Amino acid sequence: MSICIQNMFIPMYQEYPDMKIPDEIWSDIFTYLAYNDGKGLISTCQLFHGLTRAPFQFTPLPTLLFQTYGAKPDIVMDIDRTRNRIRLICKAVISLPIEIGHMHSLAYLELNSNHLTQLPHEIGNLSNLTLMDVSGNRLTQLPPEIGNLSKLVSLYIHLNRLTSLPSEIGNLSSLTDLEIRLNCLTSLPSEIGNLGSLVSLNIHSNQLTSLPSEIGNLSNLVSLYVNNNQLTSLPSEIGNLSRLVSLYINNNLLTYLPSEIGNLSNLDHLSISANQLTSLPPEIGNLSNLTSLHICNNRLTSLPPEIGNLTSLDNLYATYNQLTHLPPEIGNLSKLVSLYVNNNQLIHIPSEIGNLSGLTSLYINNNRLTELPPEIGNLRSLYHLMICMNHLTQLPSEIGNLSDLTYLSVNDNQLTSLPIEIRNLNLRSLDISDNHITFTTP
């Protein structure tokens, strides 16, 4: 059986925030573990309060800490022969000794939230490693030997200072989860397309200006996060990701979407808000499994009629655009629960909106509406209705049919009266301020 450190916490860094554990201590630890690796000599070891209760002589770590800092820190070191795991989260590790490369049975290496600036080349010798978490450090690059970790399934390198990835990362044929968010990457190597087992790729909050066309080779990809970058376009090959369920590309500089996006037949969630889109391709109507569409904060002046084909859609968020009208086909979205089209330039709402019998939230505030269609009274499931800050002069009497309506906001319009049918509503909140309504005392 192999030996590992299952858990090692050093909470005293809160009391000694500038503490750094010397390299020679880590070297002692890994040398000891590597020497005993596979021999099954140790089951559990606890080192705490500067003392040792281990069934073997291994006192340098607590003794040196006690001598160096004059304190008795809480240190727990569990060595579990069955889990093959090292976990050091103590904000005190500044480097790894080359001896770590001798721990050939190591399966889990968790060194997140430390002060590592580099990884030793010998890390490529950990041929049985399946999980490596070095997030929250100060890494600026990865050694090319990382490509030797053929059994690696999960790689977490987010929250570092990486400016590039080695091309050898494409050799990680077993990798299913890759987290690279919150770094300083400006590009991805084309070899990333070789990661045929990849299921989740998170590269949000970098400085990417483009994606390699080879990303289309990731045939098993289910989740792709590329939001908060500087992308100006998407490769047409993105349409090859036939298993993709979630796609987040919001907060970029996109001016158009490739028509191939319509090939993503399994897509459930699409977020493309906060870009510079002026239109959507009609092929977006092919996304028959889409349940959530976020297209806020763009420059859209209209929605394609094909949007009516999204019959699985639950939520549509299209706020802060330049929409002047909604296509009548929007009435085909029979499963729609939430419709947010506030802060646009709408002058008309189609009567077909009355077909949305399952709608519970309708936000059409901050537009240029002068009237509402009487069919709005068909929305018997409506709970929230926000129509404030328009140019409405009256409300249709059919509004009294909205039996589930609880919140109604019609403030900042040009209303002079309210329909008597509004008495039929069981409202918790009614805002009619900043209109021209006058009340007479009987």
- Rounded to an integer, the average pLDDT of 166-176 is 98
- Sequence-separated (6 or more) residues with CB below 8 Å from residue 326: 303, 341, 346, 348, 349, 350, 353
Q: pTM for this structure? A: 0.84
- In which residue ranges of the chain is CATH 3.80.10.10 found? 124-230
What percent of the chain shows pLDDT beyond 90? 73
Q: Which residue has the higher pLDDT, 113 or 311?
A: 311
For the cut 80, the answer to whether the pLDDT of residue 243 exceeds it is: yes
Which residues on adjacent β-strands are paired with residue 271? 248, 294
Instruction: Show the tokens assigned to 338.
Output: 């939430």
Span 256-266, mean pLDDT? 98
What's the chain's average pLDDT?
A: 84
Q: What is the pLDDT of residues 347-373, one digit of tens each?
A: 999 999 999 999 999 999 999 999 999
**Whole-angstrom distance, CA of residue 312 vs CA of residue 250:** 21
CATH class of 124-230: alpha beta
pLDDT above 60 for 294 = yes
pLDDT band at residue 106, thresholds of 50, 70 and 90? Answer: confident
Looking at 27-31, 196-200, 296-300, 416-420, which range is the least confident one? Answer: 27-31
**Residue 160 near residue 137, CB atoms below 8 Å:** yes
| DSSP secondary structure string for all residues of 213-235 | GGGGG-TT--EEE--SS--S---
Query: Per-residue pLDDT for 17 more than 60?
Result: no
Amino acid type, 410: V
47-48 vs 292-294, strand pairing mode: unpaired
- With the C-alpha atoms ordered 251, 256, 261, 262, is the resulting torsion angle positive or negative? positive
For residue 87, the model assigns a pLDDT of 67
Residue 270, φ and ψ in degrees, nearest 5: -130, 120
Residue 188 has pLDDT above 50, yes or no: yes
